Every structure is written in C-alpha cells, then in structure tokens.
C-alpha cells in the first residue's frame, strides 16, 4: 500500500527506480481506507461505514485513548503517552504531505516550534489568554506555510527536501538568536494553560487534552484523504501530470495539504509548550525534523495509523534503550536499519498486509 | 492512585525499566540518587565527566560502608542536552525509580525545564548547570553547584581592570552555554568600568572564525577580547587569533574552555590566553595552606586512577553536588525530602572542588568570587597567575 | 581591502571543505538517487581514524591511506548489509536507512573512540601565509589542491574508464544499463566505496582546520548536502561551485551583515536560488519523467 502515493515523491528518481526494479506490488486495497465500496444495500453500507478507517479506525483509536490510562501505572508513563500523542499529531499531518501528496518536508520541527513559541511568548510576555495565543500561533503558521508553499512546492525531490530543511533551519536560528523574546538556547518558561476558571496542569489532565486532540487530528486527516480531491489524486496513482490532464488543480491540493500539516504541527507545538511549561530551541532543530520524518516512514507512508504507531515507537524507544547506556545509539541505529530493510513500506502497512494474507 | 492497574505495565516499557528495579535483599533500603545528564550530545563535555564522577564516588562510598549504614543506589539517564528528554527522565526518576534526591541537569535548559516538576513533586534537586536564572529568584527545592557565569565574567573583568584593559570585544558561540555567558558579559560590564565595543557570534559547528576576528581586529580601540564558549570552536578561535597576528590584543575566555583539550586543539595557538578556572585545575600550584588543595588533589587522583583520563573542571560539579547531598542526608538522619532540603540549605563551609559553599535561604548556590583562580596558558599548560 | 580579502580567503577555505563533502553526495546520488545521510559520518570516520592511528604511533603518511581503506570498507559494508537488501524500496525508505546508519556509526565511534575532540597537525605546519594583509592557512592549500585533483580524477573516471561509464549509464537509465550487461549492484557498491573514500579524505584533510569529533559529521553532512543541492545534484562541478559559493556567502555574511545570522543569510540565499533555479546552479534541467 502507499506505493502509488510514494511514487510521486522524489519524482524523477522514483520513476527511474520503478523502471529499473519493475517490481509492482499487486494492487492491494489501501487497508481499510479503500475497503468501503459504494453502497449496495443499507446493511452493507452501515457495516462498511463502521469498519472504514474514517469511522471504525477513529473509534478504535478513541477507545485506545480512553482505556490506556487504566494501564499506565504512574505519571512517568503519562508523560511518555502525552509526548507520543503530540508527536503523533505532527506525524499525521506530515504523513498527509509525504504519504498522500508525495511531497517531503525536512522542516516541520520549525512549525512545531513556532506554534510552541507563539503560545509561550504571547502568554508569558504579553499576557494573552492561552487559547487565543494558540489560535494566533496556528493562524500565523498557516499563513506562513501558505506564503512559502507555492514557491517551495514547485521544487522536486531532494531540492524540496533542501528548501524545507533550509526553512526549518532559518526558523531555528531566529528562535536561537532573538534572546529577549525567546530566551535563546536556554529556553523559556511557559505559564500553565487557563481555560476559563480551570488551570490545566499535571500529566493526567494533559493526557486527556493531547489524546482527544490526536483523535480529532486523525479524524480530520482521514476526511481530507477521503475528500473528492484527495481521492482523485490517489486514483491517478499519484501522477501529477496525469492528474493535471484530467483537470485536477494539483498545486492547490498540495498547498492545502502543506498548510494543514503545518497547522497540525503548530497546534501540537502549542500544546507541548503548555504541557511541559517550557520551550527550548532544540524543538526547532534539524534533527527533530528528521525525527518526525523517520516516525512517518517507520510507521508507514500513506498510513494515518502508521504515523501514530511510528510516533509511539520512536517516543518510547529512547526510554527503553536507556538501559543500554552508552550503547543506546548503536541499538537505535540498528533497529532503524533492520525495520526499514525488512519492512520497507513501514510497520503498519507491512503488518496489515501480513494480516490480510493470513485472514485470506 | 492507580494501584489496581500497577501490575499491567506495558510490556515494552516494562522491559526497559525492569533492570532498574534491582531488588534489594538488605533490610535497610538503599539511598537512591537519581541523575539526568547530557552524557552525549553537544554538552557531553559537561555531562560525561559528571556521570563518571558520580559513578566513581557512589562506588567508593558503598565500598566504605555507605551512608547512615545504608548503601547508595545511583540511577543515571542520558538526556543528551535535550529538555524534552530531561523532563521525561525526571518523571521517571521520581515516579518509577522513586529516588530520594536528584543531582543533575548539565545544561541550563534541561535544568529549567525540570524545575516545574521538582517544585510540584517536592523533591530536592541539585543542578550542575551554570546560569544564574536557576537560583535567581530562589526556588524552594532547587539548588545549584558550579560558579555562575556571572562570576566567571566578573573574575575576568577584575583581571582586565588590573591591567587597564577597558575596551573589550566579545566573541562567542550561539549555544546556550555561550549565550548565558555573553548575557552576563554585557550586564556586568558597567560595574567594572568595561566598555563592550564589539560582539561577534559563531555557530557551534563553525570551522573558521577568521571573519569574526577580523572584524574585531578592525574595530578601533579594542584592548581585550572576551570569549564565551566551550569545545572545538574555542580551540579554533584561539588558533585563528594567533594566526591573524592578533596576540597584541589580550584574549580572555570564560571557564568553559578549562580543559587540556582546549589547549591541544588550538595547536599552540592558545599561548597567553587567560581565564578563570576552578581551583581543581591548578590544584598542584595552590599554596599548601589553601583549603581547596587537598580535596582537589584527592579528586584528581581518584578520577585518574579510575578512568585514566585527565580531569576537566566540570566533573568537579558532580563531586560537590553528591557530597553536599550526602552531608545533608547524614545531618537529616535519613532521606525525608523536606528535611534533606532544609539541610542542603544549611550547608556551610563545605569545601568542594569548585570552592567553599555557604548556602542560605537567600542563596541556593553559596559560592563566592574568590573560588575562581585566574590562569594563563603557558607552554601548553595552565599557570596560576595570582 | 585586507578585510575583504580575509573574508574571501576564509570563505574559500570553508567552501572547499563543503565542496569536498558535497562531492560524496553527488557520487551516490548519481548511482542511486539516494541522498546518503551517512556521508558526514564517512568524513568523521576518516578524521577520527587517522587521529587514533597516529596516536598509536603511525606516521601520517601511513595512517592516512590506512584510515581511508578502513572507511572504504565501512562504506562497502554499509552498502552490502543495509542498502543492497532494501534496493527495491523507495528512495525515502533508503534515506531513512542511511539515517539509521549514521546514528549507528556515530554510536559506534562514541563507544569505542570517545566523545573528545581532536586535532591533526597541519600537513605543512601551522604558520599562516600572509597575502595582502590577510592570513591563509597552509592547510587550505592542501584542501584546494586535493579538490582539484579529485575533480579531475572523477572526470577521468567517468569519461575514460569502463566502470565510470557504467556508473553514468546506470544513472541515466537503469534498465537500458542492465540490458547492455551492466551489473547495477556492482555500480552501487562502487559508488558507496568511492564516496566513502572521498569522505574519509575530506575528513583527514580538514581535521587540522575543523578539528574532529564523533558528531562532526552531522554538521559537515548538512553543509555538504546544501553545497551539492545549491550547485545542482549529480554534477561534480556543481558540488564544488556550490560549496565554494556557500563558504564565501557565510564568510561575507559574517563579515558584512551579522555573524549571528550568517547561517540564516546563507540559507535564505539558497532558498532564493532554488526559487529561481529549481535544479540548482548547474543541475541538469532535464524534462521530468512521467
């Protein structure tokens, strides 16, 4: 799965690769996403509706979010869960861009950090209410993404990677240098989030906030993927030229997805700032952007739920590997390589395909 | 609260934490010391010797019978200079490892990110990071060991003043350690009658600082340069300074460069550079009566024996933090968090590698300016100049 | 004037370093269209390897080729064990594999050689050469010289050797290359070995200036990638030009604009160039394949 969407990523190169290897996977249906055929018969439609990714998947995710606290023994686990959810929100948005629109971004940590710092600065230095600051950050990031989207998305493959990387680095440098505003490399404290009379602090409260936001983000993303435009683009096997000849405004779709993914990152960043009550420029760094992309690819490109799984694994892994002390980086590198060799399409699509084969 | 579900630990995470729960057969529970340090990443020059020092002394004290008849148990995590990881590890230390005290936080960012957590969970926390903001304003549960950046700057300015150097250019990196020093360098300049005439920045990954130094060279009236930084870029800066023939302008650094690596990395270019260092680095040159001489020499000997490496000034922070914590636990007669906190605050005349600590409810660091020693690089080593 | 000259000389020195690293990206890109994120690690391994071989008592003249051989071996192993098995995966998957490899190599060096930074002595002394009031490091001449030799060597390799032509042919059309009997696997192996060796050489030549450390590859890799992109991917001349331009921009920005924002200035200019020249300064402007 995801094969078609991936093809447009790094257009030239992948096109050549496919020629060379000529190894097309048979068209397996896109997990549950495509499993909902047109309705013949009300019963079947209801069944399809319930088991489609959009509803069934979201319901399943909501159920996991609701039940998980029963299994989390203490605040440390809640802390990991919160960070997982916030990373997952970024990755779900990023996967729309990478997996579905076929465009890479190595700069999404920049959007995450802009959202976080917007919340931090507007609440701490200007006394804005938290939710307004968060909204302002999201709008600001959305506008920025919209403005740069057209020139940037004209670029192909590695040039696009470089441009988004550059954008992220510029954001990171500005955050690092504008010390009176951002506190510079040492970071800045962020006030707790107030919503009406409630002061939202503590890992358990934040677990619910980030969990619910994640479910919303996944639901929104699936809707976008299933929108007529998203569907049309996928139906055309991710080929821009083919899409354009049938009258689909590919650029508009790409810009839209870029803006949506940036806004997702911004909101996750704002939530992160309030949950941690601290922001540092490390969050804007180039390595963070790479981390987000790795989460997406590890979980599975063009698999929204893959992004959640990828985020969970890469967030929890450092905690698990901590017992290896000095050898943790060796282990992390080896795990990444092994997963990508044996599951080149990512965890969720590979496992889903295995499952389907076994079930029949 | 969630007692019922305690057993249902997520399999993956449990695997990671199981090893930490070394079941203790002894009747007496061990005293648990938790730590998160930048053992890797850009600040590993701080975290690596700090972690080694903690391990060394916890082993040593355990062999000697422990404290209050109890053994020590040390849990260290590598936060890699990343505040996000630091907060997760702090939670883990408090909730999962149930440590009695936290000694750690190599960088200011990591420390400050963890402050809300230790304040909320009410656990004593001794930071090993440099910036004044950690203890100003005083935070009930937060203490800090090393000299502040401000003290390093003031010590250097004091020396400049003695030599009538008043027009100063700053050069430093863009990282947290450097910026904190730069901020203080601007802030205290007027107090010492220093005029900052230029301020140049380099990125921590830069490989040639000649453009920045050339600008300083061409700034009229520069009498001295003050460098803020650590690691490879400082060695490069020193070498470029001598290559550009700028040795007629005196060069000072903050204590971030106080390691032999700095001198070696400069390849002879560091001759004549002055900086304030903890007494530790010039322990052999201290007069026999100096109270810090003995403790420093002992530390140097133990560290060399254990790791076969020269000491840097930074491992000493961990030595001081660990011993101040243990003294406080001894005086408190146990690990009651509130009592230990009160006792740390009462630390007086504790002789550490970084100086003599006198804490109070108003001062959670407790060092004075004279705990720094001024040195000059001569013949590829430090020479005490006081 | 002396000031401008100093900025220019510094810029060229740093730019030559970026160029040497950027060339490694271009070679692997040509053969596989993969951006090898472990390229910076080859550079680091070259420098660190030489430092430790010299510390073990070997003279530079022996340590240097030995270190290069070791790094070439690492490159070949990386290709054999990590890239080759995933040959049919998408480019993005391959890139993540190279990221995994870079984390792995850094981790291995961190554990075995430690986290301290080290310096190699300049090949012909550390006294700078004075030109019109500006100082030029002697080592810069070695780097620039090596750059010229490497570019000429690569040109000869691609134009005049069977293997080089095979690499180029594969880069242009993989199926056609296979049809005329070129073993694509060998080509990949050669390109990884070549760029690993080139990276190691870069790491050794630059260590007297940049110093070397287990994590220096992150930065050099990033700047080398930027150089290769700015010049136009796949073009050796482009990588060199991109590197030098990037280095000079950084030095001029530090000198005349603001040293705090010099990297931002450099990236703004790269973005600007890409907006107007989407294939970099000297990149192929070939038609897009559908």
What letters, b where the CB count within 10 A reaches 16 and e where it falls short, cover C197-208?
bbbbbbbbbbbb
Shortest distance, CA C154 to any CA of chain B (angstroms): 26
The pLDDT tens digits of the residues spanning C83-139 come to: 888 878 888 888 889 999 999 999 999 999 988 889 898 898 888 898 888 889 899
Within a 10 A sphere around the Cβ of A117, how many other Cβ atoms?
A: 28
Q: Is B224 helix (H, G, I), strand (E, B) or coil?
A: strand
Contact B232 C213 (CB under 8 A): yes
Number of domains chain B contains: 2
Confidence of residue A274 (pLDDT cuts 50, 70, 90): very high
Instruction: State the virtual CA torsion across A47, A51, A52, A53 in degrees, nearest 10.
Output: 160
- Domain span at residue B116 reads 29-146+300-369
Write down the pLDDT at residue A13: 33
- Nearest residue on chain C to A326, judged by CA atoms? C111
Is residue B113 within 8 Å of A187, Cβ to Cβ?
yes
Contact A278 B83 (CB under 8 A): yes
- Residue whose tokens read 């199926």: C175
The pLDDT tens digits of the residues spanning C239-250 come to: 999 999 999 999
DSSP code for C33: S
Structure tokens at C45: 């391994």
B50 chain-C contacts, CB cut-off 8 A: none
The pLDDT tens digits of the residues spanning C18-66 come to: 999 999 998 888 887 888 999 999 999 999 999 999 999 999 999 999 9
Pick A19's closest partner by Cβ from C174, C226, C275. Answer: C174
Contact B84 A282 (CB under 8 A): yes
Residue C171, pLDDT > 50, answer yes
Residue B340: enclosing H or E segment and its boundaries? helix B337-345
Shortest distance, CA C211 to any CA of chain B (angstroms): 7
How many whole angstroms separate alpha carbon A117 and alpha carbon A135?
12
Residue B17, pLDDT > 70, answer no
How many whole angstroms separate alpha carbon C273 and alpha carbon C268?
9
Contact B5 A70 (CB under 8 A): yes
Cis peptide before B137 (omega within 30 of 0): yes
Q: Which residues lie closer than 8 Å to A165 by C-beta, 6 or more apart?
A: A106, A107, A286, A289, C222
Q: Is residue B264 located within the same domain as residue B162?
A: yes
DSSP C127-152: PPEEETTEEE-HHHHHHHHHHHHHHH
Residue A86, pLDDT > 90, answer yes
**pLDDT (mean) for B73-94:** 94
How many whole angstroms separate alpha carbon A191 and alpha carbon A136?
17
**pLDDT (mean) for A327-332:** 89
Write down the pLDDT at residue A123: 96
Pick A187's closest partner by Cβ from B88, B89, B112. Answer: B112
Q: Given CA atoms A336, A88, A286, B174 in this order, what sign does their dihedral have?
A: negative
The pLDDT tens digits of the residues spanning C207-257 come to: 999 899 998 998 889 999 999 999 988 788 899 999 999 999 999 999 999
Confidence of residue A39 (pLDDT cuts 50, 70, 90): very low
C126 chain-B contacts, CB cut-off 8 A: 239, 243, 267-269
Residue A36, pLDDT > 60, answer no
Write down the pLDDT at residue C234: 79
Write down the pLDDT at residue A254: 86
**Mean pLDDT score across all residues of chain C:** 89
A319 chain-B contacts, CB cut-off 8 A: 13, 16-17, 88, 92
Contact A16 C89 (CB under 8 A): no
How many whole angstroms separate alpha carbon A342 and alpha carbon A222?
27
**Chain C interface mutation, best of A13, A24, A298, highest count of C Cβ atoms under 10 Å:** A13
Determine what percent of chain C is predicted with pLDDT higher than 90. Answer: 56
Higher pLDDT, B224 or A233: B224
Confidence of residue B230 (pLDDT cuts 50, 70, 90): confident
pLDDT-wise least confident of A15-24, A125-134, A267-276 = A15-24
Closest to B208 in 3D by CA, of A148, A163, C139, C131: C139
> What SS3 string covers chain A?
CCHHHHHCCCHHHHHHHHHHHCCCCCCCCCCCCCCCCCCCCHHHHHHHHHHCHHHHHHHHHHHHHHHHHHHCCCHHHHHHHHHHHHHHHHHHHHHHHHHHCCCCCCCHHHHHHHHHHHHHHHHHCCCCCHHHHHHHHHHHHHHHHHHHHHHHHCCCHHHHHHHHHHHHHHHHHHHHHCHHHHCHHHCEECCCEEECCEEECCHHHHHHHHHHHHHHHHHHHHHHHCCHHHHHHHHCCCCHHHHHHCCCCHHHHHHHHHHHHHHHHHHHHHHHHHHHCEECHHHHCHHHHHHHHHHHHHHCCCCHHHHHHHHHHHHHHHHHHHHHHHHHHHHHHHHHHHHHHHCCCCHHHHHHHHHHHHHC
Contact C10 B211 (CB under 8 A): yes
pTM: 0.88
DSSP code for B95: I
How many whole angstroms separate alpha carbon B383 and alpha carbon B271?
11
**pLDDT (mean) for B90-107:** 95
The pLDDT tens digits of the residues spanning B44-69 come to: 889 999 999 999 999 999 999 999 99
Q: Given CA atoms A292, A297, A299, A305 in this order, what sign does their dihedral have?
A: positive
Higher pLDDT, B148 or B386: B148
Number of domains chain A contains: 1
Residue A214 lies in a domain: yes
The pLDDT tens digits of the residues spanning B181-213 come to: 999 999 999 999 999 999 999 988 888 899 999
| Domain ranges, ordered by start, for chain C | 2-228
Contact A163 C108 (CB under 8 A): no
DSSP B291-307: HHHHHHHHHHHHHHHHH
Contact B208 C251 (CB under 8 A): yes
Write down the pLDDT at residue A237: 54
Vertex B109 angle, CA B152 and B309, to 5°: 60
The pLDDT tens digits of the residues spanning A95-112 come to: 999 888 888 899 999 999
Q: Is residue B268 located within the same domain as residue B243?
A: yes
> What SS3 string covers B28-90?
CCCEEEEEEECCCCCCHHHHHHHHHHHHHHHHHHHHCCCECCECEEEEEEECCCCHHHHHHHH
Distance of CA A35 to the CA centre of its chain: 23
Residue A203 lies in a domain: yes
Write down the pLDDT at residue A18: 34
Which of the other chains make 3 or more beta carbon contacts under 8 angstroms with chain C? A, B
Vertex B20 angle, CA B16 and B26, to 5°: 155
Structure tokens at C213: 């450390």
Residue A236, pLDDT > 50, answer yes
Residue A228 lies in a domain: yes
DSSP code for C96: H
Q: Is residue B267 located within the same domain as residue B349?
A: no
Beta bridge partners of B125: B102, B142
Shortest distance, CA B52 to any CA of chain C (angstroms): 13
Residue A44, pLDDT > 80, answer no
The pLDDT tens digits of the residues spanning B306-338 come to: 998 888 878 999 999 999 999 999 999 999 999
Residue B384 lies in a domain: no
A320 chain-B contacts, CB cut-off 8 A: 12-13, 15-16
Beta bridge partners of B360: B363
B210 backbone dihedrals φ, ψ, rounded to 5°: -60, -40
Is residue B99 within 8 Å of B34, Cβ to Cβ?
yes
This complex has an ipTM of 0.89
Residue B19 lies in a domain: no
B200 chain-C contacts, CB cut-off 8 A: 254, 259
Confidence of residue A49 (pLDDT cuts 50, 70, 90): low
Is residue B271 within 8 Å of B196, Cβ to Cβ?
no
Pick B113's closest partner by Cβ from A77, A278, A326. Answer: A278
**pLDDT (mean) for B373-385:** 91
Write down the pLDDT at residue A20: 35
- Residue whose tokens read 């254990």: B306
Shortest distance, CA C288 to any CA of chain A (angstroms): 6
Structure tokens at B290: 């100096």
How many whole angstroms separate alpha carbon C56 and alpha carbon C70?
15
How many whole angstroms separate alpha carbon C217 and alpha carbon A86?
30
Residue A31 lies in a domain: no
Write down the pLDDT at residue B290: 87
Pick C91's closest partner by Cβ from A13, A286, A293. Answer: A13
Write down the pLDDT at residue B103: 96
Tell me the pairing of strands B167-173 and B195-202: parallel
Contact C264 A170 (CB under 8 A): yes
Determine what percent of chain A is predicted with pLDDT higher than 90. Answer: 56
Higher pLDDT, A188 or B19: A188
Tell me the pairing of strands B356-357 and B350-351: antiparallel
**CATH assignment of the domain containing B154:** 3.40.50.2300
How many whole angstroms separate alpha carbon B240 and alpha carbon B249?
13
Tell me the pairing of strands B274-278 and B101-104: unpaired
Residue A337 lies in a domain: no
Residue A134 lies in a domain: yes
How many whole angstroms separate alpha carbon B76 and alpha carbon A45?
56
**Mean pLDDT score across all residues of chain B:** 88
Contact B88 A79 (CB under 8 A): yes
Q: Is A334 on the interface with C (CB under 8 A)?
A: yes
Residue B22 backbone zone (phi > 0: left; psi -120 to 50: alpha; other: beta): beta
Residue A129 lies in a domain: yes
Residue A33 lies in a domain: no
Residue B6, pLDDT > 50, answer no
- Nearest residue on chain B to A187, judged by CA atoms? B109
- Domain span at residue A92 reads 80-287
């Amino acid at each position: 799965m995801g094969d078609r969407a991936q093809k447009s990523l790094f257009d030239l190169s992948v096109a050549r690769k496919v020629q060379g290897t000529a190894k097309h996977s048979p068209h397996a249906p896109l997990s549950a996403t495509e499993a909902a055929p047109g309705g013949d018969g009300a019963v079947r439609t209801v069944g399809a509706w319930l088991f489609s990714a959009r509803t069934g998947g979201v319901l399943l995710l909501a159920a996991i979010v609701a039940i998980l606290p029963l299994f989390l023994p203490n605040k440390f686990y809640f802390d990991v869960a919160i960070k997982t959810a916030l990373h997952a929100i970024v990755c779900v948005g990023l996967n729309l861009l990478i997996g579905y629109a076929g465009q890479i971004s190595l700069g999404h940590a920049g959007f995450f950090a802009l959202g976080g710092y917007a919340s931090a600065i507007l609440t701490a230095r200007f006394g804005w209410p938290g939710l307004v600051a968060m909204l302002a950050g999201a709008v600001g990031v959305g506008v920025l993404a919209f403005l740069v989207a057209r020139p940037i998305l004209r670029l192909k493959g590695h040039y696009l990677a470089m441009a988004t990387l550059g954008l992220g680095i510029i954001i990171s440098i500005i955050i690092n240098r504008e010390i009176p505003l951002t506190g510079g490399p040492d970071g800045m404290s962020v006030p707790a989030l107030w919503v009406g009379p409630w002061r939202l602090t503590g890992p358990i409260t934040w677990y619910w906030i980030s969990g619910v936001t994640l479910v919303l983000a996944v639901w929104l993303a699936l809707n976008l993927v299933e929108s007529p435009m998203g569907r049309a683009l996928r139906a055309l096997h991710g080929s821009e030229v083919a899409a354009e000849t049938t009258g689909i405004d590919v650029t508009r779709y790409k810009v839209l997805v870029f803006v949506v993914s940036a806004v997702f990152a911004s909101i996750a960043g704002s939530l992160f700032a309030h949950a941690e009550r601290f922001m540092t420029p490390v969050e804007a760094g180039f390595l963070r952007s790479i981390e987000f992309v790795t989460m997406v690819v590890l979980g599975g490109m063009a698999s929204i739920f893959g992004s959640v799984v990828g985020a969970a694994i890469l967030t929890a892994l450092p905690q698990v590997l901590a017992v290896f002390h000095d050898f943790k980086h060796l282990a992390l590198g080896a795990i990444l390589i092994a997963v990508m060799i044996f599951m080149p399409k990512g965890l969720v699509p590979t496992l889903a395909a295995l499952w389907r084969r076994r079930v029949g | 609260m969630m007692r019922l579900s305690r057993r249902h630990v997520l399999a993956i995470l449990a695997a990671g934490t199981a090893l930490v729960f070394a079941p203790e057969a002894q009747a007496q529970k061990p005293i648990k010391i938790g730590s998160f340090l930048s053992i890797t990443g850009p600040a590993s020059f701080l975290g690596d010797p700090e972690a080694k020092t903690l391990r060394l002394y916890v082993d040593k004290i355990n062999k000697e019978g422990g404290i209050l008849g109890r053994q020590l148990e040390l849990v260290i995590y590598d936060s890699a200079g990343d505040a996000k990881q630091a907060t997760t590890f702090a939670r883990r230390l408090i909730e999962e490892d149930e440590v009695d005290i936290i000694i750690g936080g190599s960088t200011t960012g990591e420390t400050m990110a963890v402050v809300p957590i230790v304040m909320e969970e009410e656990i004593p926390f001794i930071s090993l990071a440099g910036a004044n903001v950690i203890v100003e304003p005083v935070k009930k549960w937060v203490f800090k060991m090393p000299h502040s950046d401000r003290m390093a700057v003031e010590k250097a300015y004091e020396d400049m003043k003695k030599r009538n150097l008043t027009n100063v250019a700053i050069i430093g990196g863009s990282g947290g350690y450097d910026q904190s020093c730069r901020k203080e360098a601007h802030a205290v300049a007027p107090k010492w009658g220093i005029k900052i005439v230029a301020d140049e920045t380099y990125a921590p990954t830069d490989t040639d600082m000649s453009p920045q130094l050339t600008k300083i060279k061409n700034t009229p009236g520069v009498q001295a340069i003050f460098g803020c930084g650590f690691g490879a870029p400082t060695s490069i800066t020193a070498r470029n300074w001598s290559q550009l023939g700028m040795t007629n302008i005196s060069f000072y650094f903050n204590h971030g460069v106080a390691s032999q690596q700095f001198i070696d990395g400069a390849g002879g270019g560091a001759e004549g550079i002055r900086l304030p260092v903890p007494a530790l680095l010039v322990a052999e040159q201290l007069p026999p009566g100096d109270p810090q001489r003995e403790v420093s020499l002992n530390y140097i000997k133990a560290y060399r024996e254990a790791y076969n490496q020269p000491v840097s000034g930074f491992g000493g922070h961990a030595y001081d933090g660990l011993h101040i914590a243990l003294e406080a636990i001894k005086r408190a007669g146990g690990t009651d968090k509130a009592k230990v906190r009160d006792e740390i605050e009462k630390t007086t005349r504790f002789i550490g590698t970084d100086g003599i600590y006198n804490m109070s409810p108003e001062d959670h660091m407790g060092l004075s300016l004279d705990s720094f020693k001024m040195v000059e690089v001569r013949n590829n080593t430090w020479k005490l100049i006081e | 004037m002396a000031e401008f000259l100093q900025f220019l000389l510094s810029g060229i020195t740093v730019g030559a370093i970026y160029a040497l690293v950027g060339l490694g990206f271009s070679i692997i890109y040509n053969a596989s269209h993969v951006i090898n994120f472990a390229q910076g690690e080859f550079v680091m391994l070259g420098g660190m390897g030489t430092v430790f071989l010299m510390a073990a008592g070997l003279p530079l003249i022996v340590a240097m080729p030995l270190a290069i051989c070791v790094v070439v071996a690492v490159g070949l192993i990386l290709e054999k064990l990590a890239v080759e098995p995933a040959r049919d995966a998408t480019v993005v998957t391959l890139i993540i594999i190279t990221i995994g490899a870079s984390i792995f190599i850094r981790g291995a060096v961190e554990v075995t050689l430690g986290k301290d930074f080290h310096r190699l002595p300049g090949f012909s002394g550390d006294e700078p050469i004075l030109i019109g009031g500006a100082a030029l490091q002697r080592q810069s001449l070695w780097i620039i010289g090596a750059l010229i030799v490497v570019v000429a060597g690569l040109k000869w390799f691609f134009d005049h050797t069977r293997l080089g032509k095979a690499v180029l042919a594969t880069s242009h059309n993989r199926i056609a290359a296979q049809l005329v009997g070129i073993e694509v696997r060998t080509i990949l192996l050669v390109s990884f070995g070549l760029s690993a060796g080139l990276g190691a050489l870069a790491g050794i030549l630059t260590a007297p200036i940049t110093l070397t450390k287990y994590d220096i590859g992150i930065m050099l890799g990033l700047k080398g990638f930027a150089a290769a992109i700015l010049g136009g991917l796949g073009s050796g001349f482009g990588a060199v030009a991109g590197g030098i331009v990037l280095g000079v921009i950084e030095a001029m920005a530090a000198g005349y604009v603001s040293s705090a924002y010099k990297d931002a200035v450099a990236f703004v200019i790269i973005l600007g160039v890409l907006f107007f020249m989407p294939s970099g300064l000297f990149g192929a402007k070939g038609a897009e394949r559908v």
